[in-house]
Amino acid sequence: MASTESKLPAEAAGEAPGRGRLEGRRVLVVGAGTRRVEGMEGAPGNGRAISILAAREGASVACADLSEEAAAATAASIEAERGSAAVLVADVADPDSCRALVSDAAAALGGLDGLVLNVGILAPFGLRGTEPEAWDRVFAVNARSHGIVAGEALELADDGSSFVFMSSMSGILPGIGMPAYDATKAAVLALARQAAMEGAPRGIRANSVLPGVVDTPLGAATPRPDGPERDRLPIPLRRRGTPWDVAYATAFLLSGESAYVTGQSLVVDGGITTLMLGG
């Protein structure tokens, strides 16, 4: 398997310049921080890469995270590129915090016309290994929060806004052995379709991104009780994804380039779900 660090396009490496694709947009990214993982210091997660790219493309970004330190680090990276960022702290397991987050973002940015729901936590392994409390906790963070935040955003966001829900290849294909996680990522797809249906009369679009095997700190730290190691997975494109691959897919869905796309799922997986299912 080729390394994600060799011969990457500038976009996949996070090195391409901005092109003004989100000029003037005001985007809330929920889950904008990056988890600290030994050996991957400085590597961005999907939320940080999305936030930085959105700002690089001209958006003002509200960086929301449970960790103020993580959100502030993302904002600092944006400001280092002379972008505009605000820092918000929210525990999305708390419904009231979810509701307040949208109005806080709109106040910080002077309005809202973009939303990225990226927050998510992992789950225990196996159906019998998942206690009721774990089901409730994972669904509260990975699914319920998305529905509450999106519902608030449908009330406050401008006409023509775009919402992006971060699902996962796990939402359509089992593999990591975490049924609660897989179930929440499938639920996210349904929530995105509902948001698309409710938002359509006002031109508000909602779509999902489904990352595959991506080299984020969280992904690298995810245990695999069975199956091949990440560096031996036979991915058709012969490399693991980068957070920037996910960020560019998200930027496309936030931008006017996807103005006639809503209620759809964009899989960013190097071909795994379509080219390997029969193998």
The pLDDT tens digits of the residues spanning 167-190 come to: 999 999 987 899 999 999 999 999
Is it the case that residue 12 has pLDDT exceeding 80? yes
Domains and CATH numbers, the chain: 26-275 (3.40.50.720)
Query: Of all helices (H) and strands (E), which one includes residue 114?
Result: strand 114-117
Q: How many CB atoms lie within 10 A of CB 265?
A: 16
2 in helix, strand or coil? coil
Answer yes or no: is pLDDT of 204 > 60.
Answer: yes
CA distance 85 to 77: 9
**Contacts of residue 205, Cβ cutoff 8 Å, sequence gap at least 6:** 161, 162, 163, 196, 199, 253, 258, 259, 261, 262
Q: How far apart are CA 269 and CA 273, in angstroms?
A: 7
82: left (phi over 0), alpha (psi -120 to 50) or beta: left
Q: For residue range 121-170, list pLDDT tens digits in order.
A: 999 999 999 999 999 999 999 999 999 999 999 999 999 999 999 999 99
d(CA 35, CA 18): 25
pLDDT of 3 over the 50 cut? no
Cα–Cα distance measured from residue 119 to residue 109, given in angstroms and rounded to the nearest whole number: 20
Cα(203)–Cα(262) distance, integer angstroms? 10
| Kind and range of the H or E run holding 95 | helix 95-109
Residues annotated as catalytic are 181
Question: What distance in Å separates the CA atoms of residue 102 and residue 100, rounded to the nearest whole number?
Answer: 6
Residue 18, C-beta contacts closer than 8 angstroms, at least 6 positions apart: 53, 56, 57, 58
- The H or E element spanning position 107 is helix 95-109
**What average pLDDT does the chain have?**
92
pTM of the model: 0.92
pLDDT tens sequence across 34-91: 876 666 566 799 999 999 999 999 999 999 999 999 999 999 999 999 999 999 999 9
Q: Is-contact 235 270, C-beta < 8 A?
A: yes
Taking Cα atoms as reference points, which of 148, 160, 187 lies closest to residue 171?
A: 187
Question: Locate tokens 């050996």: which residue?
Answer: 39
> Regarding predicted confidence, which is higher, 217 or 253?
253
At residue 22 the predicted structure's pLDDT band, cuts being 50, 70 and 90, is: very high
Which segments within 156-215 are labelled E, that is strand? 162-166, 205-211
